[in-house]
Amino acid sequence: MSTASELTRASAADLAAAIAAREVSSAEVTRAHLERIGAVDGDVHAFLHVSEAAIATAEEVDRRLAAGERLGPLAGVPVAIKDVLCTIYMPSTAGSRILEGWVPPYDATPVARLRAAGLVPLGKTNMDEFAMGSSTEYSAYGATRNPWDLTRIPGGSGGGSAAALAAFEAPLALGSDTGGSIRQPAAVTGTVGVKPTYGGVSRYGAIALASSLDQVGPVSRSVLDAALLHDVIGGHDPRDSTSLRDAWPSFADAARRGAEEGTLRGLRVGVVRELTADGPTGDGFQAGVTQRFREALGILADAGAEIVEVDAPSFDYGIAAYYLILPAEASSNLAKFDSVRFGLRVTPPGGGTVEQVMAATREAGFGPEVKRRVILGTYALSAGYYDAYYGSAQKVRTLIQRDFAAAFETADVLVSPAAPTTAFPLGAKVDDPLAMYLNDLTTIPANLAGVPGIALPVGLAPEDGLPVGIQFMAPARADDRLYHVGAALERLLQERWGGPLHAQAPALG
């Protein structure tokens, strides 16, 4: 890895090994990625803010390593951070005008753990405002574009993190997943995204959307890289009341075993009918997505896995339940943005009362999708409607959790397409909320149940040559199972392709 192109296209695992062996410095790796950002991000717009301290941070990591200090297995590797996570020294806007320019006085726990392990923050990535969206078109700071086709969306809400990886602007990134915001962007950009078990990664310092659904997770270009990053950010945090106290196994070890063994003999893989083209919403699945998904099932079977079909009838109501629960929780969480304590303040002409200032600030600071969901959520929680809407949605959530429990009695992991279509054109659905919401059809159930999910690429759709993703889900606390099966499938696919899928991506710049 001697050239800038080699450094930016290398895996995080390879970069970490080269830095540890003193074959290359963290400063050289970081500089190569900053140069790449400068060269292509004007077209992609993956970043909202690029860190001015990145080179200095990398040089400090190099000094610590030279002094013999033992850091984490990813020491010196650059990482991009979704703008929903609080960061000292860098603005944290959640893609909204209402937080424009706000620099938090503390790091979110996952960010603090990155720094402690010697990773180098490159900057903050673009996102749909307050993580409300599936295309990163609802950002107050402009849309992000898919590096595979700049006329297409990169998914959302974490399209900035996924696009940064697909464009080789970063080797690793952090995202957040409330209904698919890590996995769906991974699917449409040919990258890897993981939603950990709810409570497996601290959300302290993550700007909340829906507190019973939000989860921070890793984004990468390989299953092993995601596992290595998950090992860094995971674990109990007493500052997060939902944080699990479990002792987690090494996810990187699970990924390495899966890749080395290359066999899935004895593994029961459950195909969730309701989340495929054979289910009630099957007409929304692109033919090429279904084709690549079925080919992947064949590869799993050839590797020794037992493919079984499972029914989860309550999943049919997942989107309806989700779009009552999420707006209700969002309307509560976003009430803090009131112009009084921090963030934007807009004063009406001639002054006004606190209530008038608050109303003017929210009118100017919140975008249309945020306003839509806050209104929906406030209505769902209002007197006379709580039981009929929010209460009923929570009952459906319980049924979905029971369907998962029943499915895992007959399958070790569940599988579905990670998104029903490939990346669609920018602007195609931005004015059609219902069409936009259907992009999360396959990913929402995992959030409602709190179980982990991983998305990884399984090829390109024949219709448009764009990436297709597959999703695996495992029981709560069985995240290592996802890394094992994901790495095994990744190896088998790459043997067929002659290398990773991102090697086929069109070059930018």
**Axis-axis angle for helices 479-497, 251-261 (nearest 10):** 40
Contacts of 134 (CB under 8 A, 6+ apart): 128, 153, 155, 156, 157, 180, 181, 184, 436, 437, 439, 440
Q: Which residues are catalytic?
A: 82, 157, 181
Position 280 scores a pLDDT of 87
Q: How many Cα neighbours within 13 Å face the side chain of 310?
A: 26
The SS3 of residue 305 is: coil
Q: Which residues pair with 308 in a beta bridge?
A: 270
Q: Is residue 34 within 8 Å of 122, Cβ to Cβ?
A: yes
pTM beyond 0.75: yes
pLDDT at 509: 61
Residue 194's pLDDT is: 99
Residue 159, amino acid: G
Domains in the chain and their CATH numbers?
4-269+412-504 (3.90.1300.10), 317-393 (no CATH)
pLDDT at 90: 98
Question: What DSSP state is assigned to residue 493?
Answer: H
Are 400 and 450 within 8 A, CB to CB? no
Closest to 120 in 3D by CA, of 185, 50, 176, 40: 50
Residue with tokens 């896995």: 305
DSSP 182-249: THHHHHHHT-EEEEPPTTSB--TTBPPS-TTT--EEEEESSHHHHHHHHHHHBS--TTSTT-----PP
Helix (H) or strand (E) holding 374: helix 368-380
Q: What is the signed CA dihedral for 67, 72, 76, 78, rounded to 10 degrees?
A: -160
Per-residue pLDDT of the chain (509 residues; tens, 9 = 90+): 779 999 999 999 999 999 999 999 999 999 999 999 999 999 999 999 999 999 999 999 999 999 999 999 999 999 999 999 999 999 999 999 999 999 999 999 999 999 999 999 999 999 999 999 999 999 999 999 999 999 999 999 999 999 999 999 999 999 999 999 999 999 999 999 999 999 999 999 999 999 999 999 999 999 999 999 999 999 999 999 999 999 999 999 999 999 999 899 999 999 999 999 999 888 899 999 999 999 999 999 999 999 999 999 999 999 999 999 999 999 999 999 999 888 899 999 888 899 999 999 999 999 999 999 999 999 999 999 999 999 999 999 999 999 999 999 999 999 999 999 999 999 999 999 999 999 999 999 999 999 999 999 999 999 999 999 999 999 999 999 999 999 999 999 999 999 999 989 887 76
Locate 259 and state its tokens: 């890749």
Q: Which of 111, 115, 114, 100 is nearest to 361 (CA)?
A: 100
